[in-house]
Amino acid sequence: MKSYFIGLIGLIAHFGVNATVPVTTAPPANSQTAWILADATTGEVESSHNAQLLLKPASTQKLLTTLAGALALGPDWRYKTQVRYNGQLRDDQLVGDVLIDFVGDPSLTREQLQALLKRTGIRRINGNVLLNQQRFSGYDRGNGWSWNDLSVCYTSPVSALILDRNCVQGALYARPNQAARATVPAHQPVSISAKVDVLNRTEQKRQFCSLEVEMTPPNQYRLTGCIGPRKEPWPLRFAIQDVDAWGTDLTRWALKQNGIHLSGGIKASHITASDWPVLAHHHSPPLKELSRRILERSDNLYADSLLRTLGAEHFNQAGSFSNGTQAVRDILQQEANIDLGPAWLADGSGLSAHNIVRAQDLLAVLLTITQDPRANWLMGLLPVSGESGTLRYRRSVQSATLKGKITAKTGTISHVQNLAGFIDTHTGQRKAFVLLQNGLSISPQHEKNIAAGQGEWPARRFEREWLEAQVLGNSDQTN
């Protein structure tokens, strides 16, 4: 394929651009900071600092995943969930098995599953229903995901079987002088209990106490520890732990809603059933719409399901985190001449602490988005400062100077605050930029002072002033 990438890496290597940041504020103390700024049209690098330093990208890594998806699949590609059968079908009765071929569609809901089964026209199944997950293999969570995040929905299992985001919402009532009480909607096939103390902030800190969750199969959650008092319930969002049990319960619900009688059981399967006749199918929204959720709302489940799908498509085998990350590398190299070199990819969302990339890698992706017609549509899906997505309320971009001027992907995990995207300057120029801040931490006393309104988070201040300098064109300081 023709490459639209103009040779950014060579530009850096040969010309050694290394301008200092054109602001008076220094990067946060003791942190690792990198940035690179280029003309979005020509790709000419105007300023860079530590652009070849390997840092954690956090959710800016979703730029790599969505670009690979755009180049390999295109904006109109869709997930296709199918219902197949094996046996004798007469009118509305089947003597044999029904197989639901789940393919990792992150948008699939229980109501859509119900509608899909209804379209088969079957009223009686003298056999089993198989929940097939052959599309993916290996772990359903990425290497390097934090173990104590696995109970929450932004780490929901990225399985081939995804229904209602593999996530359950609940509530924790924690009113003063009352025992805490946890609930989930009655229709959800999970159980939850709580033994939680309701304590004020001072007492919580004295006891080093926080809210914790214990998880046991099949999808049982027990809350312990403590939480602060609140008139309104605390929202809870639990990631499903036992996908097979979850799928069984929701499929049983869908069968019942449709009045379909099942004589056998509902069983998990991992088989190739391409020769089984198709009864009905369901298409997801197109990749362009799914990618909006990845980029604008920074949806981890959507990003990692796309990654595993790319592995399946590229290598013609069951998708995994391992072959998915290699597929991204291959696609970017082959389709856009982007060599990720020593970068290490562990997932597609940026959630893993094992991910490390260079600022120059992310800039190469941004320039491809602007220059390759196959990827131009991704530009319109990025959040805009003060207006949409994860930049709508980001405090560093709320000033009058920056509102509406930054179109970028955010990336935030513990001790990391990143941005990668585009800046519209006051003179009407568009710049591509990457700003990575890793190793961010301040002292407990400094944190107390900020909480009391004394000062500002150093990373936030640096990000704002760096961006404002680029918008205003204040770039006179160089090494």
Active site residues: 59, 62, 298
State the angle between helix axes of 321-336 and 300-315 in degrees (0 to 180), rounded to the nearest 10. 70
Q: Are strands 129-132 and 266-269 parallel, antiparallel or unpaired?
A: parallel
Distance CA 240, CA 155 (A): 9
Please, which residues have CB within 8 angstroms of residue 403's CB and are 6 or more apart in sequence? 385, 386, 387, 397
Q: Are strands 211-216 and 124-126 parallel, antiparallel or unpaired?
A: unpaired
| Strand residues in 15-92 grouped as ranges (E) | 32-39, 45-49, 80-90
- Contact assessment for residue 389 and residue 411, using Cβ atoms and an 8 Å cutoff: no
- Contact assessment for residue 152 and residue 175, using Cβ atoms and an 8 Å cutoff: no
Distance CA 72, CA 331 (A): 7
H runs (alpha helix) in 316-457 = 321-336, 359-371, 444-451
H runs (alpha helix) in 104-229 = 110-118, 201-207
Please, which residues have CB within 8 angstroms of residue 219's CB and are 6 or more apart in sequence? 168, 189, 190, 191, 240, 241, 242, 245, 246
Start-to-end C-alpha separation, the chain? 39
Which residue type occupies 151?
Answer: S
Helix (H/G/I), strand (E/B), else coil: 223: strand
Tokens 């179109």 correspond to 407
- Contact assessment for residue 403 and residue 387, using Cβ atoms and an 8 Å cutoff: yes
* The two three-digit tokens of residue 114, written as one number: 């119900």
Distance CA 365, CA 375 (A): 10
Q: Is the dihedral of CA 462, 463, 465, 470 positive or negative?
A: positive
